[in-house]
Amino acid sequence: MSHKIRYRFLMLHARLLRNILAAIGIAGFLTACSGGTKTEQKVNQDSIDRVNEKARLDSIATVRNDSIVSAKADSLAKVREDSIKKSQNQNTITKYGVPIENNIVKPKYGTPINHDEPNTRYGVPVNYNEG
């Protein structure tokens, strides 16, 4: 084989390899650009569906928590109203809402233990009943 023929054969081989490499690169580029949109649309739709589901679950949880809080508030208001009505029916009430029992006379010193026994500054005398 002469030198010229060998050179032409190598040049043809190099051009052929270069063209094959270019065709593979263009095919890969086209595949990457065209095939990605279908996958991205599917992924985007899946993520949108997840976000919508999460928002729905969050709204359900929020409504449930709000209903529990409002039920507790209603219960406390009802208990307060019942307590006020009960105390108003039984005794007179001070301006702070503390009931005053009308049947007990407050002694000058301390709290009465028994209405029949005298009450002193230091309490009921020890030997009062003994005589």
Nearest CA to 26 out of 38, 36, 34, 37 is that of 34
| Better pLDDT: 80 or 112 | 80
The model's pLDDT over 6-22, given as tens digits with 9 standing for 90+, comes to 888 899 999 999 999 99
| Distance from C-alpha of 112 to C-alpha of 52, rounded to nearest angstrom | 70
- Per-residue confidence band for 82, with pLDDT thresholds at 50, 70 and 90: confident
Q: How crowded is the C-beta side of 95, counted as CA atoms within 13 Å?
A: 0
Residues ≥6 apart with Cβ < 8 Å to 107: 119
| Distance from C-alpha of 89 to C-alpha of 15, rounded to nearest angstrom | 109
- Per-residue confidence band for 23, with pLDDT thresholds at 50, 70 and 90: very high
- Per-residue confidence band for 131, with pLDDT thresholds at 50, 70 and 90: very low
The model's pLDDT over 30-79, given as tens digits with 9 standing for 90+, comes to 888 875 555 566 777 888 888 889 998 898 888 888 888 888 888 999 99
Residue with tokens 């309490």: 123
